[in-house]
Amino acid sequence: MKLIKLMFKNAFRHKLRSFLTIAGIAIAVIAFDILRTVVNAWDAGIEATAANRLITRQAVSFIFPLPYSYRDRIKNIEGVEQVTFATWFGGVYKDKSNFFGRLAVEAETAFDIYSEYVVPPDQLEAFKRERNSCVVGSDLVKLYGFKLGDIVRLEGDIYPGTWDFVVKGIYTPNIKNGDATQMFFHWEYVDERMKKESPFRAGEVGWYIVRIAEPNRSGDISAKIDDLFKNSSAETKTESERAFAQGFMSSVSSILTAMNVLSWVIIGIIMLVLANTMIMASRERTKEYAVMKVLGFAGKHLSWLIIGESMVIAFTGGVVGILLSFPIVQGIGEAIPKNIFPVFNLEYHILVYAFVAALLVGLISSVFPIIKALRTPIVEGFRHIG
């Protein structure tokens, strides 16, 4: 018990140095938590994918369209349960900074395949009935104040002109990482207008979403779909929804990798800060350790004393960092528009990583001072000046 009291007294004997070390550890823990949360936010879309959905896109590039006529041919392949499609519409809502997903979809099937996007039945029926209607995510409602009956006006870029859509439904994801920042409207409405204004662009869709009965057959069914359109003017590439999402995110993969590496480099910085403090404290107490050896303290007692002091500082810094991470990450999440990071939450496993890392750093940082204290002869300890 006396040894434990001595650990705490030693840890805060030099109050300013201990405070600065604890502050440094806390700041490093906060930075680690923020970086890991950003990486998780990028990965949220990948984690929300379904194992029983395939994506069929143009083989050359995702930006090239596919013929609408492919729909029924894909649907007739053995193992396919249902097929729908979507097209990236683009456009501008009021200002270019107001970015969110705007997709032209097949109204009859889109919300059957994406069953995690829940729309009240009466709203879904109203959406299906009206060609110029749309469904918006619950986060867009919070962001822009949309409500049922509102008219959302988009200025087209990919599809030129002014487009007015009436809000007939609001969807809410029923899964953890579901994206509630999208807007869906009728592909038929867009296609009808294209037939009049740009006939060469009519009858085209962006990509197909294929629901299959057996997820373990995704490779086999993907190959069958691609073989069906081999040597055609628009060959396809079919892959799992997860693989498609990962490919879509590949443009920022280097940034995510850098963030991953940087988050762990921060742990190294914690170790250097704490190790420096412990080495300084050990040098100052060289005479004290010599006196304790004379009084009969064994090597294990000195070891536990040094470890305890290091762990007290690391534990305090880790706890302070974790407690401050909650409001800071929450504040960042509120400041960043939902259409950029639909999911921005501090996950508990990130806190566990940060806290365990802080404790490990505390343990490792005590190694050199322990070796120094145990190897220093008693006579040299008494002679030490510092």
Asked if 187 and 118 sit in the same domain, the reply is yes
pLDDT-derived band at 11 (thresholds 50, 70, 90) equals confident
Q: What pLDDT shows up at residue 341?
A: 66
pLDDT of 251 above 70: no
Considering only residues 381 and 162, tell me which one the structure prediction assigns the higher pLDDT. 162
- Give the count of domains, the chain: 2
Residue 266 lies in a domain: yes
Please, which contacts does 355-360 make with residues 24 or more away whose CB atoms are closer than 8 Å? Answer: 355/29, 355/318, 355/319, 355/322, 357/32, 357/267, 357/270, 358/25, 358/29, 358/270, 358/314, 358/315, 358/317, 358/318, 358/321, 359/311, 359/314, 359/315, 359/318
pLDDT of 58 above 80: yes
pLDDT of 299 above 90: no
Q: What pLDDT shows up at residue 95?
A: 87
pLDDT of 386 above 60: no
Q: What pLDDT shows up at residue 274?
A: 78
Q: What pLDDT shows up at residue 70?
A: 94
Residue 242 lies in a domain: no
Give the tens place of pLDDT for each residue, 142-188.
Answer: 889 999 999 999 998 889 999 999 999 999 998 877 888 899 999 99
Tokens coding 89: 């519409």
Give the tens place of pLDDT for each residue, 274-289.
Answer: 777 777 777 777 777 7
H or E, element range at 332 = helix 299-335
Q: What pLDDT shows up at residue 185?
A: 96
Question: Where does a domain end: 233, 260, 287?
Answer: 233
The mean pLDDT of 52-71, rounded to a whole number, is 91
Rounded CA gap, 347 and 196, in Å? 50
Asked if 97 and 181 sit in the same domain, the reply is yes
Give the tens place of pLDDT for each residue, 323-332.
Answer: 999 898 888 8
| Residues with Cβ within 8 Å of residue 251, at least 6 apart in sequence | none
| Residues with Cβ within 8 Å of residue 246, at least 6 apart in sequence | 46
The mean pLDDT of 348-363, rounded to a whole number, is 85
pLDDT-derived band at 226 (thresholds 50, 70, 90) equals very high
The angle formed by the CA atoms of residues 142, 144 and 145, to the nearest 5 degrees, is 65
Residue 59 lies in a domain: no
The mean pLDDT of 13-39, rounded to a whole number, is 86
pLDDT-derived band at 48 (thresholds 50, 70, 90) equals low
Asked if 376 and 228 sit in the same domain, the reply is no
Asked if 14 and 116 sit in the same domain, the reply is no
pLDDT-derived band at 235 (thresholds 50, 70, 90) equals very high
Question: Where does a domain end: 172, 200, 233?
Answer: 233
Asked if 180 and 301 sit in the same domain, the reply is no
Asked if 218 and 272 sit in the same domain, the reply is no
Residue 57 lies in a domain: no
Asked if 88 and 132 sit in the same domain, the reply is yes
Asked if 167 and 39 sit in the same domain, the reply is no
pLDDT-derived band at 320 (thresholds 50, 70, 90) equals very high
CB 65 within 8 A of CB 58: yes
Asked if 131 and 168 sit in the same domain, the reply is yes
Which stretch of 16-20, 89-93, 139-143, 331-335 has the lowest confidence by average pLDDT?
331-335
The mean pLDDT of 292-317, rounded to a whole number, is 82
Question: Where does a domain end: 199, 233, 267?
Answer: 233
Range of the domain at 72: 65-233
Residue 246 lies in a domain: no
Give the tens place of pLDDT for each residue, 194-219.
Answer: 988 888 888 999 999 999 999 899 99
Q: What pLDDT shows up at residue 249?
A: 63
pLDDT-derived band at 253 (thresholds 50, 70, 90) equals low
Residue 245 lies in a domain: no
Asked if 11 and 121 sit in the same domain, the reply is no
- pLDDT above 70 coverage of the chain, percent: 92
pTM of the complete model beyond 0.85:
no
Give the tens place of pLDDT for each residue, 69-116.
Answer: 999 999 999 999 999 999 999 899 988 888 888 999 999 999 999 999
